[in-house]
Copies of this chain bind each other. A is one copy, B any other.
Amino acid sequence: MSTATVSAVVNETAFVSPELRARVTAAIAQLDYAPLSAARNLKRGRSQLIALVVSDLANPFFSRVVCAAEAAASAWGYALVVFNSDEKPENERRILTRIRTLSCDGILLVPVDAQLRGEFRDDEGRTVPLVQFGRTADRGRSDSVTIDNVAAGRQVTDYLLDLGHTLVGTITGPLHLTTGRGRLDGLRHAMAARGLAPLDAHIRSGEFREDVAYSVAREMIDAPTRPTALYAASGVMALGVMRVLADLGLRCPDDISIASTDTIPGIGALRPRLTRTEHPVTDMVNEGLRILNDRITQVRQDPARQDPARHVVFQPLLILGDSCRPLRVS
């Protein structure tokens, strides 16, 4: 029989007589045959691969993203290729080139480079669907799935202000990132709404890393005018802050109230329970892959079609723990 018939059987793309089909499937089983995707990709122009590029794979937050993305990709029939740009624009560029040669069908990207070009085209000039995740670098050009960072900062700050705190400090991320800048803006807005403003010394930004947060928080907490409440703008930063407290012999919430944003796995075992905003990571990732899959099928059907970019913004959810307490009047 011919290879065409085998292809028809494997892909169920044409009617094949029962006996011939039986012989084909028998042969497949006997030879333990599996179609080679390289050849299939070459012909079909797709790869059934989704690329996930995160900005810091060592950050447990992104571990959750990887986990959710693997599940979602698998559910949609894709395999997930994981890359780590490590917050370096040159890595990101290198990775995007690599992705192009792999001819991945779609890209879920936590952008690092502000100069990210929105249109990412493959060799045939078709655009490869790209969804920005968590942050945006080219506002509006490509699809994005993000959290409302300003709302996260505001929710947490409002809560702290409600408790009577006025000396609220924050350790936030890099200000050129929407995640770092947004959460700080949220804090400022919330304070401004009550006629307050944070002290300059109480605003610090740095990489979203535990050790960075530790050293920065230590400085701030050691300083003469210590904030009575501290907003750590990410989960790993909160860990760093808690470690500062332990090392300085301070107690939370008795000596200082702590709140954060963006949960990481294992934080549930921390005592006191951290007051924080949670991100619906799984939902966000699912939405990202849904958009990617939409775009992929759409591009395949009508390469010329150019829909406007979709921007899905999720809302953070404030979870109350016992790491904050009302300010005692001293």
Q: Residues on A close to B: CB < 8 A?
A: 32-39, 41-42, 47, 49, 57-58, 60, 63, 66-67, 70-71, 74, 79-84, 97-98, 100-103, 121, 123, 210, 236, 239-240, 242-243, 246, 264-271
CA–CA, A42 and B269, complex, Å: 49
CA–CA, A271 and B245, complex, Å: 10
Assess whether A67 is in contact with B84, with CB atoms less than 8 Å apart. yes
Q: A236-B266, A269-B240 are in contact. Are A34 and B81 (CB under 8 A)?
A: no
| Choice from B82, B242, B268 contacting A66 with Cβ under 8 Å | B82
The listed residue with most B CB atoms (<10 A of its CB), out of A102, A236, A239, is: A102
Q: Smallest distance from the beta carbon of A42 to chain B beta carbons, Å?
A: 4
| Choice from B58, B71, B81 contacting A67 with Cβ under 8 Å | B58
Contacts of A240 in B (CB 8 A): 269
Q: A37-B101, A58-B67, A66-B57 are in contact. Are A242 and B265 (CB under 8 A)?
A: no
Assess whether B246 is in contact with A266, with CB atoms less than 8 Å apart. no
Q: Smallest distance from the beta carbon of A217 to chain B beta carbons, Å?
A: 12
Assess whether B38 is in contact with A38, with CB atoms less than 8 Å apart. yes
CA–CA, A268 and B243, complex, Å: 8
| Choice from B84, B103, B246 contacting A71 with Cβ under 8 Å | B84
CA–CA, A292 and B326, complex, Å: 57
Q: Smallest distance from the beta carbon of A211 to chain B beta carbons, Å?
A: 10
Number of this chain's copies in the assembly equals 2
Assess whether A47 is in contact with B57, with CB atoms less than 8 Å apart. no
The listed residue with most B CB atoms (<10 A of its CB), out of A33, A49, A82, A121, is: A82
Q: A60-B265, A239-B266, A270-B270 are in contact. Are A81 and B84 (CB under 8 A)?
A: no
Contacts of A268 in B (CB 8 A): 210, 239, 243
Assess whether A123 is in contact with B34, with CB atoms less than 8 Å apart. yes
Contacts of A246 in B (CB 8 A): 269, 271
Q: A34-B100, A57-B70 are in contact. Are A269 and B269 (CB under 8 A)?
A: no
Q: Smallest distance from the beta carbon of A294 to chain B beta carbons, Å?
A: 23
Q: Smallest distance from the beta carbon of A49 to chain B beta carbons, Å?
A: 8
Assess whether A37 is in contact with B242, with CB atoms less than 8 Å apart. no
Q: Which residue of B lies closest to A269 (CB)?
A: B239
Contacts of A66 in B (CB 8 A): 57, 63, 66, 82
Q: List 11 A-B contacts (CB under 8 A).
A: A37-B102, A37-B103, A38-B103, A57-B67, A80-B81, A80-B82, A82-B82, A239-B268, A243-B268, A246-B271, A266-B267
- 5 tightest Cβ-Cβ pairs between the two chains A and B: A63-B63, A239-B269, A38-B41, A38-B42, A57-B67
Q: Smallest distance from the beta carbon of A208 to chain B beta carbons, Å?
A: 13
Known contacts A36-B103, A60-B265, A74-B84; 10 additional CB pairs below 8 A are A34-B101, A37-B102, A38-B39, A60-B60, A79-B81, A80-B83, A210-B269, A242-B269, A266-B266, A266-B267
Q: Smallest distance from the beta carbon of A71 to chain B beta carbons, Å?
A: 7
CA–CA, A66 and B269, complex, Å: 23
